Amino acid sequence: MAISNSILNNNANIPANTIKLEPASPQKQPYDAIELDLSSKDPKQREAEILAVRGKNALNNGDLAKAQIFFKQSLAIRPNYIPAIFFMAMIMDMRGHYGDAVKLYEKIIQCSDKPGFVSAAKKNMGQIFFAMGNFNYKKEDYAAALFYYAKATTADPNFAEAWNNKGVAHLKLNQYQEAIESLDKAIKLNCDEALSNKDIAIRLKEISEGIYSSTIVPMP
C-alpha cells in the first residue's frame, strides 16, 4: 500500500474509509432486566423500595419525568439505595445530563456491595465516555476524543470498541506505538475492525522510522 507524504505528515488527512472507527455504542444495561428487592422489614426502607418500583414502572411506560420524581422521593428516604441511584443515573444519561450520570455511576462503583450493579454502572459509564469520544472525533478534535476513549477503557477495560477507537485517535495524533498497543487490546477482545487499523498503524510507524521511506509516493 503506497502512503502519501501528506498522510505521513498529518494523519488527520487519512481517508475516513481507510481507518475504521466504531461509530455506535453497544447496548446499555437494560433497566427492565433489573429486579428490585422488596424484602426490607423497616417501614421507611420499604417505602423507598416501593417508590423505586413505581419509578421503574414509569420508566417502562416511557414517562421519564414521573420516573425521576419517584426515584428522587426514594433517595430522599434512603440516600444510598443503590437501585434508585442506578435508575436515576440512567435517566440523567437519557436526558443528556452526562456529568450527573457519571457522578451517580461513580457513587455506585465506590459504595455498592452488589456486583451486578457495579458491573452495569461501569459499562454504562464507559459508554457515556465512548459517545463523548465519538462526538469529539467527528469534530476532528482528536486529543479530546483520545481523552474520553481513555476514560471509557478505564471504566470498562473489556470495552473492545473503545480500545479500537482509542487506537485510532492515537493514530490520528501520530502516536503510532500507543495506537498499536490499544489496537492489540481491541483485537484480544475480538474487535475485527482493529485488525486492519493495526496494519495501518504498523505501516505508518515503520515509515516514520525510515524503514520504508522509499515507498512513500508524493501527492500529485
SS3 133: helix
Residue 4 DSSP label: E
Q: Is the pLDDT of residue 6 over 50?
A: no
Element (H, E) at 110: helix 98-111
CA torsion angle for 145, 27, 59, 149 (degrees, to 10)?
-20
**Strand 216-217 and strand 3-4: pairing?**
parallel
CA-to-CA distance for 181 and 192, rounded, in angstroms?
15
Give φ, ψ of 3 to 5 degrees. -125, 130
Which pTM does this prediction carry? 0.78
pLDDT of residue 189: 95
> Could you identify the residue written with the cell 444495561?
29
Q: Is the pLDDT of residue 10 over 60?
A: no
Q: Is the pLDDT of residue 81 over 70?
A: yes
> Could you identify the residue written with the cell 445530563?
97
Q: Is the pLDDT of residue 173 over 50?
A: yes
Across 191-211, average pLDDT: 87
- At the topology level, CATH places domain 36-113 in 1.25.40
Calculate the average pLDDT of the chain: 82
Q: Where are the beta strands (DSSP E) in the chain?
A: 3-4, 216-217
Task: Write out the residue limits of the CATH 1.25.40.10 domain(s) in the chain.
Answer: 36-113, 131-217
Highest mean pLDDT among 1-15, 33-47, 63-77: 63-77
- Lowest mean pLDDT segment, chosen from 13-22, 54-63, 109-118, 162-171: 13-22
- At the topology level, CATH places domain 131-217 in 1.25.40
Contact 28, 90 (CB under 8 A): yes
- Lowest mean pLDDT segment, chosen from 97-106, 186-195, 211-220: 211-220
pLDDT of residue 192: 87
Which string of DSSP letters, residue by residue, matches 169-190? HHHHTT-HHHHHHHHHHHHHTT
